[in-house]
Each structure stands twice: as structure tokens, then as C-alpha cells.
Amino acid sequence: MSLTLSSPELIQTLVNEINHSAACLASNGTFASDISRRTLIATAEKLVLATRSPEENIFAIAQQPAQNAALRCAIALGIPSELAVDGSPRSVDELAVATGAEKTLLARILRACASTSLMIETSEHHYAHNSVSRTLLSPTNRALLTLMYDYNGRGVLALPEFLKSRHWCDAGSYTDCAFMLGSRTELPMWEYRDQDEDCKRIFDLGMQSEIVASLSTGKPSGPFPFGEELALGEHRREEEPVTIVDIGGGRGQALEQIRADHPELTGRFVLMDLAPVIDSAVAAGLPSWIEPVAGSFFDPLPIQGARAYFIRRVMHNWDDKACRIILRNTAAAMEPSFSRLLITDMVVDDVGAVREMAWEDLNMMTIGGVERTERQWRELLDECGLRAHKIWRNSAIEHAIIDARLK
């Protein structure tokens, strides 16, 4: 393998930038902003790439499926729960007894985990928690990573074969996608989830993960100032207007977060989803101030003239054809000069997209979805009689909120 560095001319500059960033750390080891922290991460990664040879870089990328497999094996064996929480080491012999795994096999898996800093190898055949492995003590985090490996992973691995079968002409659709090929099923993702109890349980638990929540910083409801922007003021209708309709809102978690973060909001709060989802939300104890309404966003909306229609982490699941139906149905329900559509989703930079977003777009491609660029969002909205009034975002890798109005 060549030892020629990929970008030797950049190394000293990157080292200087890292030293400068480190000098800006507060005495308690915190950054002034998350942007400065992410800048340091990006610079450190560039330094690694510059210092490796080109062959080492491409080989490191190709090895990532093995890293993911080691993580999935550790979760399946229950290793995070068997390691001592206080960080003291446990031997492979002890862990083999606790998990029922053959110790030589287990040692190989643990070695692979430690080699990528998933845990600490304190001495030969002894392992302990670190800050990374401790995140796996959370059942929701374990569920999310299991979902990504067991279900999303099947689609990702099948993606080259699937796209080749379509002569690299299109990415498929919700009802004809790489996930279906990889899972050997005739069911699209959501129908597959609903008929597979293990998948449904893992999905529901994984969506509660702090990893998902961390994609929106600040208040749990995201960067949009609901209280300031959705103040009702004078309204000509005699009845109390609807402040928010959460379209496809599941069990109402987003509405609860919004009300908790913005208690000044008045008016009615409506949760709209398919009838089985609404029934489940009510059975789970939906707050009395949330009005449940059964309906599909592929049909005309039952609530007209609301102040805001809210679609949260939904649109990226669908291709443009399906999204046009959703957007046109919503636009038809909106009242000019009063209603607005709020879309919480990823907005990928038109140029220089960050790695996380580019990879997430391929994940969504496997089920027929898309992570859209700002240009794609604006064009899609325009086709459906809407315009992007403002995009509220904290950073390039977090969920943004698109504030759209009727044209």
C-alpha cells in the first residue's frame, strides 16, 4: 500500500487550525457555539484524510460495514448492559458467561468494537465502558441503531443492485424500492413495518431516541418561534380558530412539545393521522386539549383555514409525485393571508452538502424517499401553489423548518 500522503500541503494548515480551535475552548472544556465545535470536527477529519494515503482512505471507507456489524453484534449480545457502569473492566470469560457466547468468538467481536473506540480494551481480554458505549445503555438508542442495521441496512446493501436493474435511470418509488429488494418482500417500508411486530416495536422505540432528538437543537420543538409567529390576533371568525393542525403527527408528541415550549399560544390544537394511529394515540392518553381527527394527507384535509399546518419529518419519506399530492391538499385547505404551512425536514445545502445529509439521502432513497436541497424544496413548493417564505435552521445537519405560504 502506498505511503504517499493524500494532501501533504494541507497538513500544517489544518494542524494550525486545530490548535487555534483548541485555544478557544473555555476553561470547562466547552465551545462558545456548536458551530465552532462542528468546525473543529470537520477540520480534524480533514487532517486524517490528508495524512492517510489515498489507498488508506478508500480502504477505510470500504471497511465501514464491518464496523457496523461489530456494533450490531454488541447490541444483540447485550454487551452494553453487561459492562460495569462505573467503568471498571470485565473479562471476556465473565462476559461469555453473562451472554452465553463462546469466548473465542466473543473476544473477536469485542476486539473489533474496541478497535473503533466503541469501548475500551483495558488489558488483554478485558473491556470497559467509554462515553460512546454508554450511549448504548439507552434502550431507545439501541433500538434506533438496530433499526438502521436490520432494516435500513438491507436497503442500503441492495441499492447498487436495485439501481443497476433500473439501468441507473431513476431511484424507484415508494412501492418499488431497494428496501423491498433487500428485504425480499413485496411490501413497501411502512406496510412492512405494520405487519412485522418486531420491526414495528423497534421503529416506535427507536424514534424516541435521543439521537433523533439531537437533530433539533435548542427547544425540543425546533428553531421556529411558534409563539411569536402564530399569534392569532384579530380573526374574523366567531368560533375559536385552529392554531395548528399536526398532519401525520403520530401520537401528538410534537404538539405537546410545542405547547410546553410556547405556553403563550392560544386556539385549538388538532392531531391528524390515519384512524388506527389516532385510536392508538387516544388509548395511550392523548391530552384533552388536543383534538384527534382521522384522515390521510393523500386526501383533502378535513380541517380548513387553520393558522398553521404542520408536517414534521414526513416529506422525506416520499418521492416528489407523492409530495405534490400532500402539498396540493394542504394548499387547498389554507386560507390566503392567514394560513401557513410549516415543514420540519432536512434542507441539504445546494453546494457542499455535509456528509451526514448526503448519506441520509441515500438511506431515504432505499424506501423511495428524498432528502431535498433548498433548491428542490423551493421548486417543489412552487409547483404546488406555495412559496418558501423563510427557512429556519440552526446548522447544516439539523432539521430545519420551512415556513411556506400560498403564492
Residue 2 maps to a domain:
no
**How far is it, in rounded angstroms, from Cα 189 to Cα 157?**
15
Residues 277 and 376 in one domain: yes
Range of the domain at 361: 226-406
Residues 243 and 351 in one domain: yes
Residues 307 and 345 in one domain: yes
Residue 219 maps to a domain:
no
Residue 3 maps to a domain:
no
Residue 211 has a pLDDT of 81
Residue 376 maps to a domain:
yes
Residue 394 has a pLDDT of 81
Residue 333 near residue 306, CB atoms below 8 Å:
yes
Residues 171 and 262 in one domain: no
Residues 37 and 179 in one domain: no
Residue 185 maps to a domain:
yes
Residues 247 and 308 in one domain: yes
Q: Which of 129, 262, 316, 399 is catalytic?
A: 316
Residue 20 has a pLDDT of 87
Q: What pairs with residue 123 in β-bridges?
A: 126
Residue 348 maps to a domain:
yes
Residues 231 and 349 in one domain: yes
Residues 251 and 352 in one domain: yes
Q: What is the mean pLDDT of each run of 10 residues along the chain (407 residues)?
A: 77 91 80 82 92 93 94 97 95 97 97 95 97 96 95 95 96 94 95 94 89 62 85 64 93 91 92 94 94 97 96 94 97 96 94 89 95 97 97 84 97
| Domains identified in the chain, total number | 4
The whole model's pTM is what? 0.84
Of the residues 108, 137, 166, which one is the last residue of a structural domain?
137
Residue 172 has a pLDDT of 92
User: In 10 A of CB 382, how many CB atoms?
Assistant: 13
**How far is it, in rounded angstroms, from Cα 33 to Cα 38?**
9
Residue 240 has a pLDDT of 76
Residue 332 near residue 301, CB atoms below 8 Å:
yes
Residues 246 and 395 in one domain: yes
Of the residues 213, 237, 269, which one is the last residue of a structural domain?
213
At residue 134, what is the residue type?
R
**How far is it, in rounded angstroms, from Cα 407 to Cα 404?**
9
Residue 215 has a pLDDT of 61
Residue 221 maps to a domain:
no
Residues 256 and 397 in one domain: yes
Looking up residue 356, the CATH number of its domain turns out to be: 3.40.50.150
129 is catalytic: no
Residues 288 and 392 in one domain: yes
Of the residues 181, 213, 245, which one is the last residue of a structural domain?
213
Q: Between β-strands 126-128 and 90-91, what pairing exists: parallel, antiparallel or unpaired?
A: antiparallel
Residue 90 maps to a domain:
yes
Residues 270 and 365 in one domain: yes
Burial code (b: 16+ CB inside 10 Å, e: under 16) for 82-91 equals bbeeeeebbb
**How far is it, in rounded angstroms, from Cα 293 to Cα 302?**
8
Looking up residue 77, the CATH number of its domain turns out to be: 1.10.10.10
